[in-house]
Amino acid sequence: HMTMIGVFADDNLNGFGLPDDFQGGFQSAAAFHCSFTGLHGAGICRDSSIQGVGGSKAMKSPYEWMRDGQPSRQHLGYCDILGSGTIADCTAMNTIGNFNLFEVLASFPETTEIIFMNGIEFITNLPANVFSTNLKAPNNLRAIYMNQCNLQSVDALALAGLPNLEIFNIDENVNLDSIPGTLFANNPKLKQFSMFQSDITSVPVNLFSTTPDIERIVLYCRGDNRLASLPNGIFDGLKK
């Protein structure tokens, strides 16, 4: 069932970051999205849970997996690999950019399920098939975090070939002003999409038409760049 939808603008926030008329409408107002946790997940937000990462059956969010039970990190090229090879953490690695993103993705082990690429200012666009053509086992990928980067464009086929993707977070990419309507056409298992603090002014009516099981949607426009309304029918077909 749908547990969270937030659509709001900068000047309508209270201490929890929620509009007054949303109070009490969410399960946890104080931790409704990951941007409040910082780049490394301090405080652990209430993301959608993923089962089975690292061989455990416990339900945890990706940030919880990174926090708990990860006794060692293996540094591999530009990133750290942890969680029995299931998590690639490239947070704040500004030696990564458009020029070598393909190479970095290709270096991850085939067991990779979660990718953290938060805080990388030289990644400005996600081209078509960027993950599916470079990861060794794209079918294993379940979560992508690219918060606080410098994304300016995302190709309609950027997430193609990722049938098991559950979480796509691109919070605080302040120069990103649009999202393709067919972005999730190949991601039927998507549970969470967060685009907090962006310049987005409209959302395509068909954005969630292929993600019936989505649980959390956060759309937040900053400053004068207002997402004034959502198109009629944008949530048609979603499970209640």
Q: What is the tens place of the pLDDT at every residue in 199-234?
A: 787 889 999 999 999 988 888 776 665 676 788 888
- CA angle at 32 for the pair 14 and 163, rounded to the nearest 5°: 145
* Beta strands at 87-89 and 79-82: parallel, antiparallel or unpaired: antiparallel
Q: What is the tens place of the pLDDT at every residue in 3-26?
A: 445 554 443 333 333 333 333 333
Reduce the DSSP state of residue 85 to 3 states and report it: coil
- DSSP character at residue 28: -
What element of type H or E holds 89?
Answer: strand 87-89
pLDDT at 9: 40
Number of alpha carbons in the 13 Å side-chain half-sphere of residue 143: 30
Higher pLDDT, 195 or 46: 195
- DSSP character at residue 31: G
- pLDDT beyond 80 at 46: no
What are the phi and psi torsion angles at 67 (to 5°)? -80, -40
Q: What is the tens place of the pLDDT at every residue in 150-197?
A: 999 999 999 999 999 999 999 888 888 889 999 999 999 999 998 887
